[in-house]
Amino acid sequence: MHGSSEFIPNEYTHSSRIKLTLQEEQLVPPPPLPPEAFTDAISEQPRLNRADRDWNKLDAAFVQTVLRVMARLEARGYPMTLLEGYRSPERQDALAGQGTLVTKAKGGQSKHQYGLAVDLAPIRNGKVVISERDPWAMSAYLALGEEATAAGLTWGGNWSFKDYGHIERSGSLKQLLARQQ
């Protein structure tokens, strides 16, 4: 025998370092695109002019999931940008009341108001492309659906009212809000 080889947990000094190594890297949102990148998208959908693109108004854990989805899409050749994140209840009501169907949810009924939903769009040649009629953009939206679903998120492209750029935390809003309390 070569002395005591007894394991003493308190002397295991590397545990905190190992724990940090095993935690997922915290991703940082990309810098905002210049306004001219949105010119074509805004001319097609003027409502985007007042869209909130501040990542800091979204749930931090949800942001990390979205950023991982965006990284996987970029690796597949589909760089994406945040079109809209947080929506005030007033903006939600205004969008729900528009003649063209943007959303059915009224203020307080959308996960956008709680930082648990985002609308994304692909970027091609420095410009935001939001048209589903564009074959490349549509393939980007389908890839978004695959990656979002794989990440455990809900994709708006699976709804009866197709919202291809929309992804959100899965589960009912009531349950999600109860968990946040």
pTM score: 0.81
> What tens-digit pLDDT sequence spans the chain (181 residues)?
555 555 555 544 555 555 555 566 789 999 989 989 998 888 878 778 888 999 999 999 999 999 999 999 999 999 999 999 999 888 888 887 765 556 667 766 789 999 999 999 999 999 999 888 999 999 999 999 999 999 999 999 999 888 999 999 998 888 888 887 6
Alpha helix positions (H), the chain? 15-22, 39-44, 60-75, 89-96, 135-150, 173-180
Residue 80: CB partners within 8 Å, gap ≥ 6?
70, 73, 74, 120, 121, 122, 123, 140, 144
CA-to-CA distance for 20 and 69, rounded, in angstroms?
22
Structural domains of the chain, with CATH:
31-180 (3.30.1380.10)
